[in-house]
């Protein structure tokens, strides 16, 4: 039985209890949200070492880190290193997007090493087995790979089932066409075989497999915009309508489902995009990639996209897929994975504060109290990245005669420390 | 005569012509905006090697980089290096916030080296001359310093003239009190001397000096919130009302004026803050510091604040003061200055795109065309930081056999490159 089936029978599973406790949300509320599909707990029944994480607007916004080798780059060891870096930095989910050889072993290594739910895009392994020959893909092979991955313990799968033949001409009018790797694969197969999307036509068979292992569907946005100019266009929103239909089909089968979204979106269009998805997909958790809010900053897309992700989290997203500084240039190294996750923890948290999620600002307030009290160790312990904060602070102090002063920082120096001055003013105020 | 006086007589100065040409805004529009005060061109008549830059909502959003030594850190050489780094990265304005000894010489070095307008906070030099003894400051010394700096060629000055005695009890109720260095100095002086803010009481004398040299006022927000909990409170908005009054007094004297703003603000309060300032200060250009949208990420405040700055630029700010990764921990080094400026160029540009400033998206569209064409050199030339982008790209390529392939990148590799696949689909589409 899936978490959704249990919930619909009114049964609170161990996973729901853990999520309710960690999120400080009443258990009844969690059960009801999983039952109606506004929250999901991606947790394959075979992934027994996995800690359950809730995704939905009643919970804190979550962060996913994409990992995985390309054909010519990296391998199992590197990806395991990056997995550990991502989890240590606070990633709530990880995806293995490997292509090329050795995919199953890489994934098994990640499943063994990860206490966090793991996602995949099964068509990557399918096409990798065919050495990249997309037109030759037999749909039954794709279903076979989905089944094997489900049996292996994958917690959620991106399936580009909403991209249909009639959307492709719309996407070809764009500047960037199709930039989703999975979407481009499905579209080429459809064009070459003059056939409708096999994930769409065989959706019930797909759901049979997923239901058996409680794999959560992540409906891929194969037509997500790849640049600002393509955002919010007919191709994107045409696919979104089909995703809304597929959400309903998942829910009828009690298969948990979330929906993926853009990508590249001007800052002023993000709110509308979030609201539109929530409406069309009837509150299914929205899982967004960025979005980046400008195309002109390669090398800094962890920042361009953390800006968009904050707006997304504020207005409707529940899960943020990080974008790293390597985006558009290469695969991220471990340092870039770390910075990417931290950038997205910032976005997720800033969004939770902005949408007034109960308790979200408590940690900020504790930090402010620690700052006012010059309690540096407390500040570091409250920081999203304690090591980086403390190292940077020590760097300044070790170079100066301020090394033993605790009651100011080197930004202004002791005589010019506003917090010190403000304290003196407060003492004077009390005497008045 | 000030730029504003010329504009009010209908005279288009050389500076206005340069700004109109570079911003691609009709000269009449520039003259009218400077005349009414919705745009300013900070340009001291003595700063003859300075290139004029326009600030206002009719222009592109601008970026300021704060520089300057603390009592124990850095000196003239370091600060000149950082100035060059900031300008190379694209800073439109720089401020010298030095305290301690040698301030005049540091500033002169910056004025000589900088083609960009330079700002200061005169009370810093005043208190530095008094070795930090705030209560002993004679208001006439503050005016003397303002006069000397104006004669030296400073283009704009932050003056905390709106913080009044009756605001101080409001600020003392806060978690963080007063975190503005200049604001805290003024408040302590006022409390110790039981006197109203001398910048406020002597405002006409201040304007006499500034008017003579066409120094632009930047009305300091001495009560800007120093944490999320203090944002949008009675202290902040009480001071803002006075700033609105001071804007009118500047305009009556034809002294150019902009208004400074927060600071630390939850993401969902930024729009309201921008609109409120624009209304109370009658369209005076809003110059904001960040704002940071969460307090829990020391070491990453260039990111927490670029998020807020994008929203600020979208909803009403005209000039963004960067916050660097060193914020709350120390003074920035050259690398942090560079990353800070780039983060803010991102925020300024993303805001310009979001508010549909005419032509803002052209560079994004050219980048997208270059990406679709695999024109890597064009991509780098369009990037906000070409060196970083190219270095990162080469790092991937030099390590692989893909080094000589131009038509894909290492993110997906050749077989899995969505842009390549999308191209094949486009070719098929054409044949149908």
pLDDT in tens, A162-180: 999 999 999 999 999 999 9
Model-wide pTM > 0.90: yes
What DSSP assignment string belongs to B317-362?
EEEEE---TTTTTS---HHHHHHHHHHHHHHHHHHHHHTT-TTTTH
pLDDT band at B95 (very low <50, low <70, confident <90, very high): very high
Question: What local confidence, expressed as pLDDT, does residue A72 receive?
Answer: 66
Three-state DSSP state, B103: helix
Window 392-421 of B: residues touching A by CB (8 A cutoff) are 392-393, 395-396, 399-402, 409-416, 418-419, 421
- pLDDT class of B151 with cuts at 50, 70, 90: very high
Q: How far apart are CA A346 and CA A326, in angstroms?
A: 19
DSSP codes, B148-209: HHHHHT--EEEE--S--GGGHHHHHTSSS----HHHHHHHHHHHHHT---HHHHTHHHHHHH
pLDDT score of B40 more than 70: yes
> From the list B368, B392, B423, which residue is nearest A330 (CB)?
B392
Cα angle B245-B144-B81, degrees, rounded to a multiple of 5? 95
Residue A414 CA, chain-centre distance (Å), reads 43
Residue A308 pLDDT exceeds 80 = yes
Asked if B364's CB is within 8 angstroms of A227's CB, the reply is yes
Which of A55-69, B46-60, B385-399 has the least mean pLDDT? B385-399
User: Residues of B with CB below 8 A from A355's CB?
Assistant: 268
B contact residues 160-219, partner A, Cβ 8 Å cutoff: 168-169, 171-172, 175-181, 183-185, 187-188, 191-192
A389 and B298: CB-CB below 8 Å? yes
CB within 8 Å: A297 and B385: yes
Angle at B47 between CA B97 and CA B107, to 5 degrees: 30
Q: What does the pLDDT look like over A199-244, one tens digit per residue?
A: 999 999 999 999 999 999 999 999 999 999 999 999 999 999 999 9
Is the CB of residue B104 less than 8 Å from the CB of residue B152? Answer: yes
Q: Answer with the residue of higher pLDDT: B89 or A415.
A: B89
Task: Give the pLDDT confidence score for residue A70 in this predicted structure.
Answer: 77
Percent with pLDDT over 90 in chain A:
89
Q: What is the pLDDT of residues B24-38, one digit of tens each?
A: 999 999 999 999 999
Buried b (16+ CB within 10 A) or exposed e, B11-31: eebebbebbbeebebeeeebb
pLDDT > 60? residue B210: yes
Q: Which residues contact B280 (CB under 8 A, 6 or more apart)?
A: B240, B241, B243, B244
pLDDT for B118 equals 98
Who among A187, A327, A329 is closest to B425 (CB)? A187
- Two tokens at B343? 């983060």
For residue A14, the distance in angstroms to the closest alpha carbon of chain B comes to: 31
A364 to B296: CB separation less than 8 angstroms, yes or no = yes
A62-67 and A317-321 beta bridge pairing: parallel
Q: Which of A298, A349, A399 sits opposite B389 (nearest CB)?
A: A298
For chain B, say whether A3 makes contact (Cβ under 8 Å): no
d(Cα B317, Cα B56) in Å, to the nearest integer?
A: 8
CB A425 within 8 A of CB B187: yes
Contact assignment for B393 to A330 by CB distance below 8 Å: yes
Nearest residue on chain B to A388, alpha-carbon basis: B299
Which residue on chain B is closest to A165 by alpha carbon?
B429
Predicted confidence (pLDDT) per residue in B320-376, tens digit: 999 999 999 999 999 999 999 999 999 999 999 999 999 999 999 999 999 999 999
The rounded mean pLDDT for chain A is: 95
Task: Note which residues in 52-91 of chain A have CB less than 8 A from chain B.
Answer: 70-73
CB spacing of A416 vs B306 below 8 angstroms? no
Residue B284 is predicted with a pLDDT of 98
Between A and B, how many residue pairs show a Cβ–Cβ distance under 8 A? 399
Q: Are A350 and B382 an interchain contact pair (Cβ–Cβ within 8 Å)?
A: no
**B297 contact residues in A (CB cutoff 8 A):** 342, 345-346, 383-385
Beta strands B39-40 and B55-56 are antiparallel
The pLDDT of residue B396: 79
CB contact under 8 A, B383 and A299: yes
pLDDT in tens, B239-275: 999 999 999 999 999 999 999 999 999 999 999 999 9
Q: CA B139 from chain center: how many Å?
A: 28
Kindly identify which residue of chain B lies nearest to residue A329, measuring between CA atoms: B393
Residue ranges of A 327-386 with Cβ closer than 8 A to chain B: 327-331, 342-343, 345-347, 349-351, 353-356, 361, 363-365, 367-369, 371-372, 379-380, 382-385
| Chain A residues close to B311, C-beta within 8 Å | 267, 311
Q: Is the pLDDT of residue B409 over 80?
A: no
Taking the C-alpha atoms of residue A233 and residue A236, their distance in angstroms, rounded to an integer, is 5
* Interface contact B306, partner A, CB < 8 A: yes
């Amino acid at each position: 039985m899936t978490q959704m089936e249990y919930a619909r029978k009114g049964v609170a599973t161990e996973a729901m209890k853990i999520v309710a406790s960690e999120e400080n949300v009443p258990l009844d509320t969690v059960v009801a949200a999983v039952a109606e599909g506004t929250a999901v707990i991606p947790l394959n029944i075979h992934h027994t070492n996995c800690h359950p994480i809730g995704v939905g607007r009643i919970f804190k916004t979550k962060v996913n880190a994409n990992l995985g080798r390309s054909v010519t780059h990296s391998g199992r060891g590197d990806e395991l290193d990056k997995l550990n870096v991502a989890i240590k930095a606070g990633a709530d989910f990880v995806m293995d997007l490997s292509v090329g050889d050795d995919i199953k072993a890489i994934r098994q290594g990640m499943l063994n090493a990860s206490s966090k739910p793991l996602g995949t895009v099964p068509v990557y392994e399918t096409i990798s087995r065919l050495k990249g020959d997309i037109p030759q893909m037999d749909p039954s092979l794709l279903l076979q790979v989905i089944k094997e991955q489900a049996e292996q313990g994958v917690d959620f799968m991106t399936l580009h089932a909403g991209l249909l033949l009639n959307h492709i001409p719309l996407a070809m009018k764009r500047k960037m066409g199709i930039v989703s790797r999975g979407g481009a694969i499905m579209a080429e197969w459809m064009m070459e075989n003059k056939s409708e999307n096999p994930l769409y036509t065989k959706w019930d068979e797909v759901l049979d497999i997923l239901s058996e292992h409680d794999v959560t569907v992540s409906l891929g946005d194969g037509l997500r915009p790849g640049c600002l100019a393509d955002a919010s266009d007919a191709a994107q929103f045409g696919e979104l309508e089909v995703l809304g239909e597929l959400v309903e089909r998942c829910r009828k089968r009690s298969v948990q489902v979330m929906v993926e979204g853009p990508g590249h979106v001007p800052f002023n269009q993000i709110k509308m995009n979030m609201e539109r998805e929530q409406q069309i997909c009837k509150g299914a958790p929205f899982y967004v990639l960025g979005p980046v809010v400008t195309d002109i900053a390669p090398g800094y897309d962890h920042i361009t996209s953390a800006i968009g992700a904050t707006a997304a989290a504020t207005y409707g997203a529940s899960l943020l897929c990080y974008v790293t500084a390597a985006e558009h240039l290469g695969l991220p190294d471990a340092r870039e994975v770390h910075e990417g996750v931290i950038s997205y923890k910032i976005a997720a948290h800033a969004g939770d504060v902005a949408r007034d999620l109960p308790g979200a600002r408590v940690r900020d307030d504790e930090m402010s109290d620690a700052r006012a009290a010059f309690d540096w160790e407390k500040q570091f312990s409250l920081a999203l990245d304690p090591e980086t904060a403390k190292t940077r602070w020590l760097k300044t102090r070790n170079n100066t005669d301020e090394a033993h002063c605790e009651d100011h920082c080197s930004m202004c120096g002791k005589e010019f420390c506003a917090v010190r001055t403000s304290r003196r003013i407060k003492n004077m105020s009390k005497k008045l």
